Amino acid sequence: MAPPILNLDNIHLTFGGTPLLSGASLTVSLGDRIALVGRNGSGKSTLLKIAAGLVEPQEGEIFRQPTATVRYLPQAPDWQGHRTVRAYVEAGLGPADDINRVAMVLDHLGLTGDETPESLSGGEARRAALARVLAPQPDLLLLDEPTNHLDIAAIEWLEDELQRSSSALVMISHDRRFLERISRTTVWLDRGITRRLDKGFAHFEDWRDKVLEEEEREQEKLARQIAREEHWLRYGVTARRKRNVRRLAQLHELRAKQRSYRGAEGVATMAASDSAVSGKLVLEAKNISKSFGDRVVVKDFSIRVQRGDRIGLVGPNGAGKTTLLKMLTGVLEPDSGTVRLGTNLQIATLDQNRAALDPNETLAHFLTDGRGETVVVNGEERHVVSYMKDFLFKPEQARTPVRELSGGEKARLVLARLLSRPANFLVLDEPTNDLDMETLDLLQELIQDFPGTVLLVSHDRDFLDRTVTSTIAPEGNGVWLEYVGGYSDMLAQRKGRELERRKARPQEEKSARPAQEAPRQSSRKLSYKQKFALETLPGKIEEATKKIAELEQKLSDPSLYSRDFQAFQRMTAELEELRASLSKMEEEWLELEMLREEIEGA
């Protein structure tokens, strides 16, 4: 195994009360791809800051290879002293780094570098922060929520970039698909300690459930052992005549062990408040359009939404998802076309900017709207502290100002208020931002079981696949289309439609030609070279696919980078060439196959 470039051992840290870290460890070697997972508030970001040298633990040993370069992606970038994005990104370069990579990375992330920090949207600021850590190509990348506020196109580019990178990675993310594609190792931070699984995140949840089940069995055994010892202490013959000091001490130890056990973190309880049933038709939009100046955001879009539909909106940042959402729900008037809302609608809306949050308001005041100490949920009054516990808040947080909450806690608070209101139509704009995976699972189940209608915007591909019944996506120039199924279904339908379009194109060209050309067209034949290519390309494609799989298997060895750097570089270059060659051969074969079908059908 390659020597570690970072090693954290037996790390302890307490900010008053229950220790945040009580023996956490993290070892990173060259080529590692580590997913650092755990509940919101478990200390993941703090552990990453300790790894980056930004926070000092109270106990524990830290080793960082002196010659290794480390770059850390914070959740909130610090723009102080930087007038433009380019200046901010270049400030992250080391003496040996290539400054030309800055322009390349910025271009791939959709930035020019001339933007000023105050002009950036949340997604643009995130991309600038990513550019700062990706441009140097460090030995170790520490990424805290790299996909937050990125659109799907940017997330997929980031996945490709990280897969090509030779940097070791430690990643915190709540995007399942991102972690499944990138990670090879999973470190679980739970109740202050870490556990390591030498497999990617795709295997984590089954492993975690087995660990927790084993813990429960151990606690049951401990409880039975204590009961036996207490029985002996009360009724044993020896105990009546003379105290067995050693056995009594063991009983005290067992009780102390039982008291000190911190069970698994609680699970949020989510349920939408009951509401009257809406009409069967929830909304109908006919040929709606919206422009801002010369820019067409929505053009002639029509849709009928029935009760029970769960519809997802996807697309790049700035494509107009929120604009379309507001028009469909009657918040924004279209320039042309009509929107008709159904009867008996009770709409509950989650805004992506959490606009309803006042940083100085307390949690209890926010949930009750300042009306006493109770919340009405499903027609029943509940004390606000009891309701807060359903969303994993502690009783003492009732008087805590909103400004002191983490991003994940703010997201849970907004959901708690939203779900306390009676609704039969949920409108959710980026509901997955800052939620941990367990809370995401519950939100997913809520949406699946919700008897009303759901309209949501999200960049979380896995969440969309698990929840929506149809997906609305932009096609360019203000055109939006609805596809049946989730995000993956939409991609498959787009691909199939593009193949059909390619097949139809030669036939359309043939129909458009003058009639006198028809006899000459029917006599066309494939050339010898084209026939030979059509026969041999499938074998070449299969051979290239096998070679790519072999190279990917060799490059998955985490020790290759440090053991034989030249081989690593050679294989990486060869893999890129093979992928490009494979893509070219597939395109050529498809064109020849369509040409053959056209000639045979003429």
For the annotated binding site for ATP, the residues are: 38-45, 315-322
What tokens appear for 426 in the block? 């949920």
Residue in the block written with tokens 């041999």: 536
Residue carrying structure tokens 């060895």: 557
Burial per residue of 517-547, b for 16 or more beta-carbon CB atoms within 10 angstroms, e otherwise: eeeeeeeeeeeeeeeebbeebeeebeebeee
Please state, as a whole number, how many other Cβ atoms lie within 10 Å of the Cβ of residue 181: 18
Q: Residue positions in the annotated binding site?
A: 38-45, 315-322
The β-bridge relationship of strands 374-377 and 310-313 is unpaired
Sole residue written with tokens 């594609």: 181
Q: Which long-range contacts does 301-306 make (Cβ < 8 Å, 24+ apart)?
A: 301/337, 301/479, 301/480, 302/337, 303/328, 303/472, 303/482, 305/281, 305/453, 305/455, 306/280, 306/281, 306/282, 306/453
* DSSP class of 433: T
**What is d(CA 126, CA 178) in angstroms, rounded to the nearest whole number?**
16
The torsion angles phi and psi of 29, rounded to 5 degrees, stand at -115, 165
Q: What DSSP string runs through 310-344?
A: EEEE---TTSSHHHHHHHHTTSS--SEEEEEE-SS
Neighbouring-strand partners of residue 473 = 481
Side-chain-side CA neighbours of residue 508 (13 Å):
6
Determine the Cα–Cα distance for residues 393 and 376; give it in Å rounded to an integer.
Answer: 18
Judge whether 296 and 442 are in contact, CB under 8 Å: no
| 598 three-state secondary structure | helix
- Name the pairing type of β-strands 281-292 and 336-341: antiparallel
| DSSP letter for each residue of 371-384 | STTEEEETTEEEEH
Look-up: residue for tokens 């070449």? 540
**Count of H helices and E strands in the chain?**
20, 20
